[in-house]
Structure 1
Amino acid sequence: MQKPIVVGSVAYDPKIVTIWDIIRDYFNDNGIRLDYMLFSNYEAQIEYLLSGKIDIAWNTNVAWVRAYELSNHKAQALLMRDTDIDFKSVFIAKEKSGIKSIQDLKGKKFGLGSADSAQAAILPLKYLENELGENIKDVEIIRYNSDLGKHGDTGRSEFDVLEDIKNGKLDAGAIGISTWVRILEEGLFPAGEIESFYTSEGYCHCNFTALDTLDENIKKTFVDILLGQDPNDPIIKKMMLLEGLNKWVVTTNEELKGYEVLTQAMKEQDLIKNNW
């Protein structure tokens, strides 16, 4: 019997089981054995990928950079969501705060999300350093390290930042674009109370990662099956809605450029090590 393709994913939310049951059943219904292994943190998942205990990992951008660097560039990004392309970080403050640019943060309290979150901590810190240089010392950085190991997937630290801006404990802070869009669409804060004053350049978020030693036929089969999913099929549509995508996209050299700024930031901040 064919050995199943084993995919790793981090269980940051109960919906992950539903998502992966649907994906597993879709593969099996198409004659390809697939199973998944859930992890409580990305560091463990990276370890399992690098040691060959899983074939493919559904990685955050931070997990991808670590896997790529720690494998001596032997990791490959296979596939990603359309929503993983052109992801951004947003800096927010109260509308009446007088903060209209990064330069206005001098003498202010600025909140960063979980230390392992690219969108809410790692990249925002780099953007601050790029803009302020040595003057970053004039900004009081306050970190909200909730749900470490999940690389910001839960969004909890971003909402911690938002709450403390609202109650006056922070002057401003960083969140991911998806959290900001959710706040606007769902009206989670009173209209006009909080506004954005900086939006970063686009970068890439998650991808399916494999080592280059994985059989090429397995990689091709995995990619082809996912690309063949019909987003109008009710079950597939449900999975895509839960997973936050409209379609799967092959990761090319163009998309890989979207990880360069994060790679640089992680090296500068000494975050390549995979401690767990």
Structure 2
Amino acid sequence: MLAAGFAAAFTFASLPASAQAVPGVLRVSAIPDEAPTELQRKFKPLGEYLAKATGLKVVFTPVTDYAASVEGLVNNKLDMVWFGGFTFVQANARSGGKITPLVQRAEDEKFRSVFITASNDIKQLADLKGKTFSFGSESSTSGHLMPRSYLLAAKINPDTDMKRIAFSGAHDATVAAVAGGKVDAGALNISVWEKLVAERKVDPAAVRVFYTTPSYYDYNWSVRSDMNAALKKTITDAFLALDPSTAEGKEILALQRATKFVPTTPANYTTIEAAARNAGLLK
């Protein structure tokens, strides 16, 4: 394993302002598309698994917003980040093409967003005109960019055709805003929606899906392109080796809401980049 003799471990830490590459440490983060406690719970077994696979101390660093995850990787304060498709595109553009996506879940090859409401008056996208609406984070692929893209394709401009739009900051917060009557409708990623329904944290009879988008590529684990090639391969192989027939693999994949991980490439995200530029969200 890499960094032989280094005690593999897994910890959480705060992101220091002047962090530099640390020998023997793999600094990891994720876009905050769910509550920080949920992100940490989901990552803990994966962090322990990656520590064993690489021989490195794996340090998970929560970030305050999507932009911080981009800047952390681009500026060498982080080594690997769980990005949405749009944040990968942003990081790649910000770095001048120096970000490499390693793997994605099989589910991310055909990801979708759902539009939800608690109003009986909303049955299709056209009914959103004159209504209040919540996206997730402004930098979210499945909570903003792609829902906005499909709204524009349906001849609905959220900025001019809706009464008011808001940004909740996270998918579960969007559901809470709709369920609590703060907005008439909202959009979020289908994976979080299905998880909340399965965990009975939302009543689908009270808050329902009225539109599901076509599929698109979404989340991935990305690193800087200058990461040691052997380490990139070790990390990639570790993800690809996760097997639901083992207790460890089953737990990690379930927490990641994945059947398996598969390799990915920058080319998979050209559609998202085009959608971002078309929506004026990427200059």
Q: TM-score, normalised by structure 2?
A: 0.76
* Structure 2 CA distance for aligned equivalents of residues 176 and 113 of structure 1: 9
Q: Secondary structure at the match of 1:76?
A: strand
In the alignment, structure 1 residue 8 sits paired with structure 2 residue 28: yes
Residue 86 of structure 2 is matched in structure 1 by 62
In the comparison of the two structures, how many residue pairs are matched? Answer: 259
Deviation, structure 1 residue 59? 1.9
Mark the CA change 1:84 to 1:36 in structure 2 (over 3 Å): closer, same or farther: farther
Residue 72 of structure 2 is matched in structure 1 by 48
Two-structure CA RMSD over aligned residues (Å): 3.0
Residue 144 of structure 2 is matched in structure 1 by 121
Counterpart pick for 2:277 among 246, 262, 267: 267
Mark the CA change 1:187 to 1:39 in structure 2 (over 3 Å): closer, same or farther: closer
Mark the CA change 1:44 to 1:111 in structure 2 (over 3 Å): closer, same or farther: closer
Q: Secondary structure at the match of 1:197?
A: strand
Counterpart pick for 2:249 among 228, 236, 239: 236
Deviation, structure 1 residue 78? 0.6
Gap runs ≥5 in structure 1: 147-151
Moved more, 122-131 or 229-238: 229-238
Deviation, structure 1 residue 264? 3.0
The question of whether the paired residues in 2 share the 8 Å contact of 1:9 and 1:37 is answered with: yes
Gap runs ≥5 in structure 2: 5-22
Q: Secondary structure at the match of 1:137?
A: helix
Cα-to-partner distance string for 1:86-140 (whole Å, 9 max, x where unaligned): 221112234632x332223333333333323222223222221221156973322
In the alignment, structure 1 residue 201 sits paired with structure 2 residue 221: no
Mark the CA change 1:161 to 1:27 in structure 2 (over 3 Å): closer, same or farther: closer
Residue 110 of structure 1 is matched in structure 2 by 133
Mark the CA change 1:59 to 1:189 in structure 2 (over 3 Å): closer, same or farther: closer
Q: Which amino acid aligns with 2:120?
A: K
In the alignment, structure 1 residue 158 sits paired with structure 2 residue 174: yes
Q: Which amino acid aligns with 1:6?
A: L
For residues 142-221 of structure 1, the aligned pairs below 5 Å read: 142-146=165-169, 152=170, 155-164=171-180, 167=181, 170-190=183-203, 192-221=205-234
Q: TM-score, normalised by structure 1?
A: 0.78
How many percent identity over aligned positions? Answer: 26
Mark the CA change 1:13 to 1:111 in structure 2 (over 3 Å): closer, same or farther: closer
Deviation, structure 1 residue 216? 1.9
The question of whether the paired residues in 2 share the 8 Å contact of 1:49 and 1:57 is answered with: yes
Q: Which amino acid aligns with 1:62?
A: F
* Structure 2 CA distance for aligned equivalents of residues 4 and 197 of structure 1: 49
Cα-to-partner distance string for 1:141-181 (whole Å, 9 max, x where unaligned): 320434xxxxx3xx2331233224xx4x5433322212332
Moved more, 12-21 or 234-243: 12-21
Deviation, structure 1 residue 52? 3.0
Residue 97 of structure 2 is matched in structure 1 by 73
Deviation, structure 1 residue 28? 4.4
